[in-house]
A and B are shown apart, each in its own frame.
Chain A
C-alpha cells in the first residue's frame, strides 16, 4: 500500500492529466521527481508530507532550464540546484509536480503568454487567470496542486489570487529569499505563494522562511509564526478601509464585496493613504527602467524572440532618463513614511486586489460607471502602491456568487501574523471562501 504522500501525488497527476489541457497551467510536469519526493516524505514522516506543489517557471529546479515564460532562455544551461524556496519545501516533505505558465519575464498582469498560450481561469475558461503568476493561481484553483509558488513585483501574486479565488501571500519585502528566482525588478521583486486553504498557506510560509545571506534584500528577522496565528487569540484588531485612490474605480461586484468584508472586519473607518497615485506611477517607472536595463542585451540581439507585449515596454523602459528613475526612488522613501503614519493607528488596512472580476481573454477594456478602463494597464491599480514599499499582503477570496473577487489584507511590515489573524476570523464567519474547480490532494477549507 502506498503512503499518504504518494497517494497525494498520484491524485495531483491524475487531476493534471484530466484538467490541465483545459486551463493551460503547467509548462512542464515531472512525475518521477514528484513520486521520489513523495516516497522520501513517506519514509521520513516529514512535516509537509502529503502536500503537493508546483512553481512559476521562473524558479530554478535542478536539472531544468528556467524559462521565465520566454523562449529566449531555452538555450541556457539547466539550473545547478533548486531555488531556495523550492529546496525548503521539498526538504519539509512537499512534492514538486512541475512548472507553471506566466507572463513573459513576469512583465504583465494577464498570463496571455505569446509563446505558451493563455492560462485560462478555472471558474470560466473564456477568462484570464490574471498574472503574472497566472499558472500558479489557476493550478491551485483547479485543484491540480495544494500550493504554488509565485512572484510579485507589482501585483503578480495578488491579482491572479483575486481573479482565481484562492489565497495568495506576498510577504514583507525581504522576508522570503529570491535566490534562484529569475529577476524582473530587483528593487521590487517579492516571492510568495498561493493555496486553497489558510492552513496550507501558513504551513508552506513557515516552512519557507529563514535567512538567506545570498539574497541581498533579505533581513535576518525572527520568523512570522503564521501557523500559530491561525489559532486566533481573539485580540481586537484595529482595521480600516483604504479610500481615496483605492476606491477610485471598481465594478459593482467589487464594491459590494468590499462593503461586506469591511463590515465583517469591523472596519468602520475609511482612511486615505496619501500619495498612492504617485506611488503607483513611480512603481511603473522603476519597473520599466530596471526591467529594460536587465534585458538590454537580449533586446539588442534577439528582439524578435520576445513577446511583443513585453518587448516594447522593455525598450521604452531602457530609454528612460536616470533622473526620472532617481526621482521615483525618492518617492518610495516619502510614501513609506505616509504608510507608517496610518499603521500608528491601525493594525490592518483593507483594499480591493483588483478593480474588476476576471475579464475575458483578449478583452482590451472594462466599462465602469460609463468610463472605459484599459485592462492590461490597470489591473495593478490597487496592488502597485502597496508592493512599492514592500508591505505584506494576504489576498483572500471573498465568499461571493459568480466570478471570484479578492481583498487585500495589508499588514504593517513584518506583521504577517496580523493578516492571518483577520483572515481566519473572516473565514470562520463565512465571509471568505475558496471554490475549487476540482480537487486534488487534501480537501480545501
Chain B
C-alpha cells in the first residue's frame, strides 16, 4: 500500500535532517560507530515497558 502523496510529503518533512555533502562521510563514520553500540545492547532480554524515569528513586 502506498501513502497518499500529501501524507508522504508531511512525513518527509518530519525527517530529521539533510546532512550536507561536505559532512556526509564523517557523519556516516559516526553512524557506523553508533550502530556498533546499538548492537551491543540488542541481545539482552529487556522488559517490554519503557520506564519514563529509570534512575533510582527514593
What residues of chain B lie closer than 8 Å to A332, measured between beta carbons? 51, 54-55
State whether the Cβ of B42 lies closer than 8 Å to any Cβ in chain A.
Answer: yes
Q: What size tier do the contact residues of chain B reach?
A: 20 to 34
Would you list which residues of chain B between 11 and 58 have a CB under 8 Å from chain A? 16-20, 23, 26-27, 29-31, 33-34, 36-38, 40-42, 44, 46-47, 49-51, 54-58
| The residue from B27, B49, B57 contacting A315, defined by CB atoms under 8 A apart | B27
Q: B41 touching A389 by the CB < 8 A rule?
A: no
The secondary-structure label for the interface of chain B is loop
- Of the listed residues B29, B37, B41, B46, the one surrounded by the most CB atoms of chain A closer than 10 A to its CB is B41
Q: A274 to B30: give the CA distance in the assembly, Å.
A: 27
Give how many A residues have a beta carbon under 8 Å from the other chain's beta carbons. Answer: 50
Chain A 295-330 interface 0/1 with B at a Cβ cutoff of 8 Å (1 = within): 010011001000010011101111110001011111
* CB-nearest residue of chain A to B28: A316
- Flag if A317 contacts B34 (CB, 8 Å): yes
Distance from B58 Cβ to chain A, minimum over Cβ atoms (Å): 6
B18, B34, B42, B47 — which one has the most chain A CB atoms within 10 A of its CB? B34
| 20 further contact pairs, Cβ within 8 A, besides A282-B37, A317-B34, A330-B46 | A275-B44, A278-B41, A281-B36, A285-B37, A285-B38, A288-B34, A293-B16, A300-B18, A312-B27, A312-B30, A316-B31, A316-B33, A318-B17, A319-B31, A328-B41, A330-B47, A330-B49, A330-B50, A333-B47, A336-B56
Residues of chain B whose beta carbon lies under 8 Å from any beta carbon of chain A:
16-20, 23, 26-27, 29-31, 33-34, 36-38, 40-42, 44, 46-47, 49-51, 54-58
